[in-house]
Structure formats: structure tokens, C-alpha cells
Amino acid sequence: MTPVLETRRLAKTYDTGGTQVLAVRGIDLTISRGEFVAIVGPSGCGKSTLLNLMAGLDRVTAGEVWLGGRRIDQLSETALARMRRQKVGFVFQFFNLMPTLSAIENVELPLLLVGRHRKEARDAASRLLDDLGLEDKYDAAPSQLSGGEQQRVALARALANTPDILLGDEPTGNLDSASSREVLALLRAARDRGQTLLLVTHDTRVAAAADRVVTLRDGLVNDDTELQAARPVTLPLDAGGPV
């Protein structure tokens, strides 16, 4: 299996007014191509910190982060931003859509930012929104969409650049259970098409849908378990069915 994302003895210490918080204390983790990995653990164990370090959104205190065979923890801010635009997709708990842009403009944006032509970006964004069941919501503003619809737009945006890895911080954390099921089914459908996924979650259903669950405790990996393969996948948007 080819590693997509790898950490080596990764550590992060926050200094808060003289007090040091050891948020991540030496983590070795390898995410292989095509894996769906959930990171779980009690509040404050370092999940979001780890994800942010792996995404190059926060600076490491010690250790290394490798993405697609390239060491990224020492890159400049400009190089990191370019790397994120080209290689990483993000979904967050609070969707983080641009409020003044329509659904389709939100999905087009990452494509335009990497220099794709307007027509090409529009076609790709339409296809993604159609795939996620949002064919009648192209022109809606985020504020006109339900939480589940906003997260589907965010997912379309995250997948627009066919990222090497999709990173999520509590992607179902702000959704009702029907919308969570929809979003989870879409995440699993992305995995079934070969998308690599790494999600931080408190949601046991998200963890149960993963191929592998990494449990953190006090800034360290406490457990790393492969789950049984071949669980049935609910069709996307079949919100009523089991996931």
C-alpha cells in the first residue's frame, strides 16, 4: 500500500502564558492510499491538533509530516497553501462555506484557484453537485440550505480538486441524524471510488463506517484497529436506510 500521509514522531506543544500543553506527544501514523481512517478519543486528547498538523494548517513542534512522498512540515506558508489547494480536501463541522457565494460558486472556487478555466470549473462543479443530489440548489446561498445540504456542498467543494486525501474534523458534528446518515453514506461512496479519507470524529457511526480506527489518549496513539471489511454500503441519499 502506498502511503498518502505519514507522520514521524510528530509532536505539538502549545505555550499558553507560561503553561505548556503537550497536545501531541510523538505520533507515528501512516495513512495508505484508499483507506478510510477515523481518529477518535476523549475530548482534549489531541485529535484536532493532529489533523491540523497533518494538513499543514498548524506548525509542528517536533517530528515530520509527509504528504505524497514529500516532507511538508518545513514548507513556507505560500508553498503550504499551494500544496493544500492541490492535494488536500477539507470538511469541517461548521461547513465553512463562503456566505456570499452560491452553492455552485463555492464548489468552483478551488478549481478556479488552481487555474482551471471558468467553463471547465462550472461543468465539474455541476457534476459534483448532481452526484451529491443538489442539482436543484446550484444558485442557493449557503444560508438558504439546510445543514445537511451545506455539508454536501462542502463535500463537493472538498472533492473538486480530486484531492490525494480528504480530511474532516467532525464532519457530522453539527448535523441531525438523518443528515449525518446522508453525509456518511456520501463519504463512504467516495471511499468506494478510491478516495483516501481521514476523519476526526466523536460520532460512533462514522467510526464504525471506517476501515480503521485510531484512538488517541493524552496526545499518543492508544489503539490502532482495522475493522472488518465488506460491510454493506447504503446508497447515497437513502437517508432512511441503515448506515
**Is 241 a binder of ligand ATP (CB under 6 A)?**
no
Residue with grid cell 489533523, as numbered in its chain = 51
Q: Is the distance from CB of 169 to CB of 176 less than 8 angstroms?
A: no
Q: Which residues of 1-39 are buried (b: 16+ CB within 10 A; e: fewer)?
A: eebbbbbbebbbeeeeeeeeeebbbebebebeebbbbbb
**Is 217 a binder of ligand ATP (CB under 6 A)?**
no
**Is 61 a binder of ligand ATP (CB under 6 A)?**
no
Q: Which of 9, 20, 44, 176 binds ligand ATP (CB under 6 A)?
A: 44
CB of 110 to ligand ATP, least distance (A): 25
For 68, 122, 186, 187, the CA distances from 190, given in Å and listed in that order, are 19, 21, 6, 5
Q: What single-letter amino acid sits at 196?
A: T
Residue 44 or 241: the one with the smaller Cβ distance to ligand ATP is 44
Helix, strand or coil for residue 141? coil
User: Which one of the spans 36-44, 68-76, 88-96, 117-125 is the region binding ligand ATP (CB under 6 A)?
Assistant: 36-44
Could you say which residues in the range 5-34 bind ligand ATP, by CB under 6 A? 14, 16, 21, 23
**Is 46 a binder of ligand ATP (CB under 6 A)?**
yes
**Is 45 a binder of ligand ATP (CB under 6 A)?**
yes
Residue 95 or 137: the one with the smaller Cβ distance to ligand ATP is 95
Q: Rg (Cα) of the chain, in Å, rounded?
A: 18
Residues pairing with 214 in the sheet: 39, 224
Residue 61 or 126: the one with the smaller Cβ distance to ligand ATP is 61
Residue count (the chain): 243
CB of 101 to ligand ATP, least distance (A): 28
Q: Is the dihedral of CA 54, 151, 104, 236 positive or negative?
A: positive
Which among 175, 174, 142, 176 is positioned nearest to 156, based on CA atoms?
142
Residue 27 or 185: the one with the smaller Cβ distance to ligand ATP is 27
Helix, strand or coil for residue 13? strand
**Is 2 a binder of ligand ATP (CB under 6 A)?**
no
Give the integer Cα–Cα distance in Å for 183 and 125: 18
Q: Which of 47, 84, 152, 157 binds ligand ATP (CB under 6 A)?
A: 47
**Is 94 a binder of ligand ATP (CB under 6 A)?**
no
User: Which one of the spans 37-45, 112-120, 149-157, 176-184 is the region binding ligand ATP (CB under 6 A)?
Assistant: 37-45
**Is 49 a binder of ligand ATP (CB under 6 A)?**
yes
Report the interface residues with ligand ATP, using CB under 6 A.
14, 16, 21, 23, 41, 43-49
